[in-house]
């Protein structure tokens, strides 16, 4: 069975600190896709990244970076020099690529204090 665990329910940091959101997944598929979505207070989820299981290169996009490690079944998300606008709930999700459903994690609420 597929499963996504985001063990951190809520994280609170002071602005400019670096913060890492953990995502651990379970799957028996050899081909799968991992996603991160952001849900700001406005409520509208926004796609951040998709990574397939064959690409283990870390990705960096501005202050955002993602560390994909198949050995530990983790796809962690780091925000460098956090800003108040980063405050949101972040969801990690998993799929086998051929399904219409994603397996969603419970989400991590990130609070950035000024």
Partner 1 sequence: GAGVSQSPSNKVTEKGKDVELRCDPISGHTALYWYRQSLGQGLEFLIYFQGNSAPDKSGLPSDRFSAERTGGSVSTLTIQRTQQEDSAVYLCASSRGLAGFYEQYFGPGTRLTVT
Rounded least distance, CB 91 to partner 1, Å: 7
* CB of 2 vs partner 1, minimal distance in Å: 11
Which 43-102 positions form the footprint of partner 1 (CB under 8 A)?
43-47, 50, 91, 95-102
Which residue in 33, 65, 73, 80 binds partner 1 (CB under 8 A)? 33
The count of residues in the chain is: 114
Of residues 79 and 93, the one with the C-beta less far from partner 1? 93
Q: Is the CB of residue 32 less than 8 Å from the CB of residue 17?
A: no
* Whole-angstrom distance, CA of residue 42 vs CA of residue 108: 16
Q: Per CB under 8 A, does 105 bind partner 1?
A: yes
Judge whether 107 and 60 are in contact, CB under 8 Å.
no
Burial class (CB in 10 A: 0-12, 13-18, 19+), 40: middle
Q: Please report whether residue 30 would count as binding partner 1 according to CB under 8 A.
A: no
| Alpha-carbon distances, residue 67 vs 31, 40, 58, 98, 101 (angstroms) | 18, 22, 5, 24, 24
Instruction: Considering the complex, state which of residue 83 and residue 99 has its C-beta at the smaller distance from partner 1.
Output: 99
Taking the least distance from each CB to partner 1, the nearer of 25 and 107 is 107
Binding site for partner 1 (CB under 8 A): 33, 35, 37, 42-47, 50, 91, 95-102, 104-107
């Amino acid at each position: 069975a597929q499963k996504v665990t985001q063990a951190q329910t809520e994280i609170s940091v002071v602005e400019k600190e670096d913060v890492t959101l953990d995502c651990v997944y379970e799957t028996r598929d050899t081909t799968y896709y991992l996603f991160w979505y952001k849900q700001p207070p406005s409520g509208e989820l926004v796609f951040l990244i998709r990574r397939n299981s064959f690409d283990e290169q870390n990705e960096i996009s501005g202050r955002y970076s993602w560390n994909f490690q198949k050995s530990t079944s983790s796809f962690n998300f780091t925000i460098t020099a956090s800003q108040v606008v980063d405050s949101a709930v972040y969801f990690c999700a998993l799929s086998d690529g051929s399904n219409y459903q994603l397996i969603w994690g419970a989400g991590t609420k990130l609070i950035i204090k000024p």
